[in-house]
């Protein structure tokens, strides 16, 4: 839909203007060979992104953020623009931003009508 494509562009523009360039990394696991019992080498993947690191509000930090998790001291809310990404972040993804490496505790996506706009990641060092 053209409207949501435009909104994804606006989200990218705003996050680029007020946020920072960063990257996120993941690993594609190698193939398992049942005959030898070995796994071929994993393939690391990296992609640049635009993001904003935010502190959780007092209200958010005192309440459960997602089922089974809580916001801990030092956790960040990481907003990543979805436009232009070749793959979506997953719970195995690490984000390198602001001189630190963050792992994803939880991921939410704003995805109206099947067009991802922004990924909201609960990040932890």
Question: What is the predicted pLDDT for the residue at 64?
Answer: 55
Q: Return the pLDDT at 69.
A: 59
In this prediction, residue 25 carries a pLDDT of 95
Nearest to 119 by CA among 98, 95, 101, 100: 95
Structure confidence at residue 68 (pLDDT)? 53
In the prediction, which pLDDT does 32 show? 84
| Number of neighbours of residue 49 by Cβ within 10 angstroms | 23
How crowded is residue 40: how many other Cβ atoms within 10 Å of its Cβ?
A: 11
Whether residue 101 has pLDDT greater than 70: yes
Q: What is the CATH number of the domain that holds 80?
A: 2.40.10
For residue 65, pLDDT beyond 60: no
Q: What one-character-per-residue DSSP string does 35-65 give? A: TTTEEPPPEEEEEEEEEEEEEPPHHHHTSEE
CA distance 81 to 8: 8
Nearest to 48 by CA among 70, 23, 73: 23
Task: Tell me the per-residue pLDDT of 23-56, one tens digit each, with 9 for 90 and over.
Answer: 999 998 888 888 888 888 888 999 999 999 999 8
Question: Residue 42 sits in which domain range?
Answer: 2-124
Share of the chain above pLDDT 70, in %: 92
Residues 6+ apart with CB under 8 A from 26: 44, 45, 87, 89, 90, 92, 93, 94
Instruction: Please report the pLDDT score of residue 62 as a whole number.
Output: 64
Residue 71: Cβ within 10 Å count: 22
2's enclosing H/E stretch is helix 2-18
Q: Looking at 62-66, 94-98, 102-106, 111-115, which range is the least confident one?
A: 62-66
- The count of domains in the chain is 1
């Amino acid at each position: 839909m053209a409207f949501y494509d435009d909104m994804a562009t606006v989200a990218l523009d705003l996050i680029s203007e007020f946020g920072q360039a960063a990257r996120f990394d993941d690993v594609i696991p190698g193939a398992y060979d049942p005959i030898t019992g070995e796994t071929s080498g994993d393939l690391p993947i990296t992609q640049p992104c635009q993001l904003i690191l935010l502190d959780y509000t007092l209200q958010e930090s005192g309440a459960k953020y997602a089922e089974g998790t809580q916001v801990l001291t030092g956790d960040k809310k990481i907003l990543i623009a979805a436009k232009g990404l070749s793959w979506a972040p997953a719970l195995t993804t690490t984000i390198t931003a602001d001189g630190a490496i963050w792992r994803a505790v939880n991921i939410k996506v704003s995805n109206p009508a099947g067009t991802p706009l922004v990924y909201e990641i609960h990040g932890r060092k």
